[in-house]
Chains A and B, each alone.
Chain A
Amino acid sequence: MLVPHVVADLPLGINPWLLGAQLLNFGILYFILAKFAFPALYKTLDQRAATIRQGVENSERAKTELAKAQQQADGIIQAAQQRSQQIIADAGTAGERVRAQIEAEAKARAAEIAEQNRRRMAQEEAQAQNALRQQTADLAIQAASVVVGRSLDNSDQRRLVEQFLTEVR
């Protein structure tokens, strides 16, 4: 241990020992950093870059997939809308058809009922005419019997009266 003093082996304080020591210092520092610190640093930076790239790619892919799904959903919704419209339209025509059918049936039924009524009335009229004719014939025969005074042969009478009545009518 010496008393401290200012180094001035060469002008400006340059000293071969110190120069060598500083060269060595730098060498040691570089060696340790290059061997232990920087490789780890690079590894982490690369890893992170890869992770980030992956993340970006993933999100990109997710985005395209989302867009695709959206498109699909849109397609499905559109198809459904079309289908529902179709169904509504179909339902309209079907209803129309049913209505027309019902109407036609109702008309036909009404016409049938009217025809039946007309036919029954005609029948009843004919029956009534028949009955009237027979009564009239009976009355005429009775009246003629009274007039003639005797009873006419039944079959002859009847034939005559009926002939008469047919002519009258």
Chain B
Amino acid sequence: MFWPISHLLPSLTGGATHILADAGGPLWLLPGIDVGPTTLFTIGPFPVTNTLINSWLSMIIVLVLFLGATRKMAIVPKGLQNFVEWGAGLLIDFCEEVAGKPWGRRFFPFVATIFFYLLFANWTEIIPGVDSLGTPMPGTHPVAGIFLLGNDSNKFYPWVRPASSDLNFTLAIALISVVVTQIYGFRTLGFRQHVGKYLNFRDPIGFIVGILEIVAEFARIISFSFRLFGNVFAGDVLLIVLGTLLPFIGPTVFYPLELFVGFIQAFVFSALTLVFLSLAITSHEDEHASAAHTEHSEVGELASADAVH
């Protein structure tokens, strides 16, 4: 029941790499790539994985930043408070711009939690030691007790791996995003009007559009979770591969790109959540009046783009 690519194509990772070719064998191997996270230990039936540890780490970073910044707030901000306020202020402005002033403020805590949680979960990918420190697999022979070289170099279980490179993490947040959007829809429009968005028996075209809306909701869960997962996982693997081929220099060159990608993914996720939230509180009639369909086709585009990859 494994799904590691290395098992499908053993020859890709099974061979030796001659970075510094010598008769004694290769110095490093390309990493084995596992889509699933690694369970480090279990508590009863509950597996504690390296991605779960990373998500706790990200939570702690976000909490320290925000609680630290808002503990003793001054009218004239400085230091940490200034920094956090700057970021949060931009996001509040964005929320108010997209959803209108009162709704923007109500959506902000949710959108901001998604944004900052994802931001740091993505950015942990560039912390040295993430993906490169771990427990050696059985049967390996660490050099000087801690270093894995040669044929052993990819045979370890990393202790920390970016949370966003775990589908459990991205799927959970995508589910929350979609479910919370539905809850807002029900609460704002009422049961009849909200369900009426999806089940419309008045005319056949409306019925089909409604069914498509339902499909779109599910496509959104997939689109949300796989876009984030795909981008961060691919970036993470890229950093690992470069780190193996060209240690220190290789990954460093791509750190700016990964910082950008991490930020953009967090922003895309939270911005689209915000957009769907503000659509959910708009009734069907208003929606028709505006060009809200553009948004839906946008989702279709994103979803299909994910399906292609």
Tell me the A residues contacting B by CB distance below 8 Å. 1-9, 11-15, 17-19, 21-23, 25-30, 32-34, 36-38, 40-45, 47-48, 51
Check A4/B175 contact, CB under 8 A, given A21-B46, A45-B85. Answer: no
Residues 32-86 of B at the A interface (beta carbon under 8 Å): 34-42, 45-47, 49, 51-52, 55-56, 59, 62-63, 66-67, 69-71, 73-75, 77, 84-85
A138 to chain B, nearest CB (A): 128
Given contacts A30-B110, A37-B66, contact A44 B73 (CB under 8 A): yes
Query: Are A17 and B113 in contact, CB atoms less than 8 angstroms apart?
Result: no
Interfacial residues, chain B to chain A (CB-CB below 8 A): 1-4, 34-42, 45-47, 49, 51-52, 55-56, 59, 62-63, 66-67, 69-71, 73-75, 77, 84-85, 88-89, 92, 105, 108-110, 112-113, 117, 134-135, 138, 157, 163, 166-169, 171-173, 175-176
Name the B residues within 8 Å of A37 (CB-CB).
Answer: 66-67, 69-70
On whether A29 and B62 interact (CB within 8 A), knowing A5-B38, A36-B70, A40-B73, the answer reads yes
Q: Is the CB of A26 within 8 A of B117?
A: yes
**Contact A4 to B40, CB < 8 A, known contacts A18-B166, A30-B110, A33-B66:** yes
Q: Which residues of A contact B67 (CB under 8 A)?
A: 32, 36-37
| Contact A13 B36, beta carbon cutoff 8 Å | yes
Chain A contacts of B66 at CB under 8 A?
Answer: 33, 37, 41
A45 touches B92 (CB 8 A): yes
A-B interface pairs (CB < 8 A), number: 144
Inter-chain CA distance A36–B65, complex, in Å, is 12
Q: A6-B36, A37-B70, A41-B70 are in contact. Are A48 and B75 (CB under 8 A)?
A: yes
Q: Are B35 and A38 in contact (CB under 8 A)?
A: no
Return the contact of B41 from the options A4, A19, A42 (Cβ within 8 A).
A4
Residue of A nearest to B105 (CB): A42
Given A13-B34, A14-B167, A38-B108, CB of A6 within 8 Å of CB of B4: yes
| Chain A residue at minimum C-beta to C-beta distance from B168 | A18
Q: Are A17 and B3 within 8 A (Cβ)?
A: no
Q: Is the CB of B108 within 8 A of A22?
A: no
List 30 A–B pairs whose Cβ atoms lie within 8 Å, in order of A's numbering. A3-B138, A5-B38, A6-B2, A6-B4, A8-B1, A8-B3, A8-B36, A12-B36, A13-B3, A13-B168, A14-B36, A18-B47, A18-B51, A18-B166, A19-B171, A22-B172, A23-B172, A26-B113, A26-B173, A26-B176, A28-B59, A32-B67, A33-B62, A33-B63, A33-B109, A37-B67, A41-B69, A41-B70, A42-B105, A45-B89
| A19 adjacent to B36 (CB under 8 Å) | no
Contacts of B163 in A (CB 8 A): 22
Q: Which residues of chain B have C-beta atoms less than 8 A from A27's C-beta?
A: 176
Q: Which residues of B contact A26 (CB under 8 A)?
A: 113, 117, 172-173, 176
Q: Measured between alpha carbons, how far is A14 from B74 in the docked complex, in Å? A: 45
Q: How far is the CA of A36 from the CA of B62 in the complex (A)?
A: 13
Chain B residues closer than 8 Å to A32, beta-carbon distance: 63, 67
A17 neighbours in B (Cβ, 8 Å)? 45-47
Q: A12 vs B171: C-alpha distance in the bound complex, in angstroms? A: 11
Asked whether, in the complex, the Cβ of B109 is within 8 Å of the Cβ of A47, the reply is no
Minimum CB–CB distance from A15 to chain B (whole Å) comes to: 6
Q: How far is the CA of A19 from the CA of B55 in the complex (A)?
A: 12
Give B11 Cβ to nearest chain A Cβ, in Å. Answer: 20
Give chain A nearest CB distance to B248 CB in angstroms: 27
With a cutoff of 8 Å between Cβ atoms, the chain A residues found around residue B169 in the complex are 22
Q: Which residues of B contact A1 (CB under 8 A)?
A: 41
Whether A8 pairs with B2 at a CB distance below 8 angstroms is yes
Q: In the complex, A30→B84 CA distance in Å?
A: 16
Asked whether A38 and B109 contact (CB < 8 A) given A4-B135, A33-B62, the answer is yes
Q: Give min CB distance, B138 to chain A, whole Å.
A: 7
Q: How far is the CA of A5 from the CA of B108 in the complex (A)?
A: 39
Residues of A within 8 A of B3 (CB): 8, 11-13
In the assembled complex, the Cα of A7 lies from the Cα of B52 at a distance in Å of 12
* Contact residues in B for A41 (Cβ distance below 8 Å): 66, 69-70, 73, 84-85, 88
